[in-house]
Structure 1
Amino acid sequence: MSAVFKALSDDTRLLVLEELRKRDNQSLFEICVRVIEQHDLSLSRQALSRHLNVLEAAGLITTEWSGRTKVHTLNRTPIGDHIQPWMKPFLE
């Protein structure tokens, strides 16, 4: 669970998750364009790729190949299975 919290501790990764929540199944290029356009953030594809790797290692996103393009999808399971139950006592 600490990998999930570590992945969520970065503002850029939170923006990436928000963009995938709005529109799933995006390529690296599509996410990069949306983050730059929607949030006025200067970010290279290499930097975004590193952020995506952290999110994938934490299980927050999944990836699969569609031809020659790697497509990223939000994985809601860690949020529902780990974060919500952990936070519930703090919200009561």
Structure 2
Amino acid sequence: MKVTVFKRGKRPPEDFDAKKLRASLYAACLSAKSPEGLARNLADQAAREVEAWSGQKSDITTTDIRAQAGRFLEHNHPDAAYLYKHHKKMM
């Protein structure tokens, strides 16, 4: 089932893209000094969790995605979770 992601501000909604999510999670893990293999594994696992969660919905927000993925990372890599959840605030 297609899931529509609504973004903040006036940006148009778009289809959920697991590849974009994985890339973002991977970058957060690398920024937290994780080895590449661990970063890839965590990004894949977190993205699968979000995909499973979002598969039951037709519309979600980027805030929803960030919260779901952040919860997974909090349990598995707290430093990466912090970086992932606060990325926009640190720029």
Please confirm whether the aligned pair reaches a TM-score higher than 0.5, indicating the same fold.
Answer: no
Query: Which has the larger strand fraction?
Result: 1
Q: TM-score, normalised by structure 2?
A: 0.30
Q: TM-score, normalised by structure 1?
A: 0.29
